[in-house]
Amino acid sequence: MTYWNPTMKLLLFYAHSFSYETAAKSLAAVPDVLKKEEISDAVVVFFHVEAEDVEKKNKVVQKFAKNVKWLCGKFSTKNVVLHSFNHLSGSKADPDFSQKVLVEVKERLERTNFLVMLTPFGYFNEFKIHVAGDSLAKVFKEF
């Protein structure tokens, strides 16, 4: 018997507004960043790349982007926030691999005219999110 073992995790929100500010490094090797940004009318994606995603990177990137585009379409927006959130599973990919997935998804979205905001990778951030009340404004996906 074959079991489906989903790995990549996405927690997607449609937000009337989202803002963040860097708070502290979570990875010592990343450059120092002090940053504060905000955006309106956006799909905000908290994503978690798992160790098992390494062997199926192309499929993961494709499905990641497809799910983001799908939710953006439901709310007629081209604004996206991508935030690495390693709290959706116990399995964690290497930070370098996770960052590569992030960059590839960003580039894929930008090629189709999405405006993509990245929260600084390797940082804990303070954030405010005003999520819409629609049932589709809060979606969890794993694949």
- DSSP secondary structure of 55-116: GGHHHHHHHHHHHHHHHHHHTT--EEEEEE-TTS-S----HHHHHHHHHHHHHHHHHTT-EE
**43 pLDDT tier (thresholds 50, 70, 90):** very high
For residue 89, what pLDDT is reported?
Answer: 72
Q: What percent of the chain has pLDDT over 70?
A: 94
**115 pLDDT tier (thresholds 50, 70, 90):** very high
Q: What percent of the chain has pLDDT over 90?
A: 86
pLDDT: which is higher, 77 or 4: 77
- Domains, the chain: 14-29+37-142 (3.50.80.10)
Give the pLDDT confidence of 98-114 residue by residue, as tens digits: 999 999 999 999 999 99
Mean pLDDT of the chain: 93
Does the structure show a pLDDT above 70 at 88?
no
Q: Which two tokens stand for residue 26?
A: 């979570």
For residue 106, what pLDDT is reported?
Answer: 98
